[in-house]
Amino acid sequence: MAKKGLGKGLGALITSSTAAEQPRHEMIPIDSISPNPMQPRRRFNEESLEELADSMKEHGLVQPIIVRPSGTGYEILVGERRWRAAQMAGAKSIPAVIREAEASECLQIALVENLHRDDLNGIEEATAFRQLMEDFGLSQDEISQRVGKSRSAVANSLRLLQLPVEVQAAVVAEEISPGHARTLLALQGDPYQAVLLQRIIEDDLSVRQTEEIARRRLGGSEEPVQRQKPQSLGEYADLISAGLRTKVRVIQGKRKGKIIIEFKGQKELQRLMSEMGVSAEEVG
């Protein structure tokens, strides 16, 4: 199936309507250019940048970046990755297309460019959508039209921002996929959400496996989470581990059991004591 077009695309976004506003092509000093502060992409793969820099040293930069005048210099609209690689390659100047753009256009252009290249992780994409709504007053329908995604896809992306910080961080670090994250949304408010997050990472669970585990946790229902009592020592250990944010083992002997809580140093021990409501003064 052919990939759906991304709205009007970059061509429409970077083409001005009047002759007076037509973009100019120039060689611009590297140090006169700054990144777009509204750039939704926050992570740049260093190895990929080095490969591009090596290519530039050998062949030069074929495709110019796109900038807009800003203060005494220029601000990048499209091509921050190329600009970073050119810096690494030791270039003093870089070919650029100069055009005028309003603040709202800057984010839209950066977003569409990255969507063309699938460069944004799920959280970066959702954050950009939220910024378009909050800062520029766009509706979900308007966003979907501009970036060529369905309204439901935009809505589902925004839902990822409801997740706890640690789950969002795992998406940004590419430890889990947006599909995993959407599945974890079903466990909002359930302490087992943190447990399942760790299982996804440690056991390399697929999205389908994660969905099956979540369904079992929900009792095979799509209703709001009905918390279930732990059925085994392992589940008790998982819940305690999620609450204390460290590895915990629960061992049951013939007459008594014990809970083993692991820690890596004095700082973590103090954190665990605080989590359990124990102060250093009480220990002394």
Q: What is the pLDDT of residues 226-240, one digit of tens each?
A: 445 555 677 777 677
The whole-chain average pLDDT of the chain stands at 76
User: How much is the pLDDT for 39?
Assistant: 65
Per the CB < 8 A criterion, the answer to whether 238 and 192 are in contact is yes
Band the pLDDT of 243: cuts 50, 70, 90.
low
The 10 Å Cβ neighbour count of residue 265 is 8
User: How much is the pLDDT for 197?
Assistant: 92
- Model confidence over 188-220: pLDDT tens digits? 988 889 889 988 998 888 888 898 888 888 875
Fold of 9-120: 3.90.1530
Q: Where in the chain is the domain with CATH 3.90.1530.30?
A: 9-120
Least confident of 8-22, 38-52, 126-140: 8-22
- Model confidence over 259-274: pLDDT tens digits? 888 888 888 788 778 7
Task: Give the active site residues.
Answer: 80
User: How much is the pLDDT for 107?
Assistant: 63
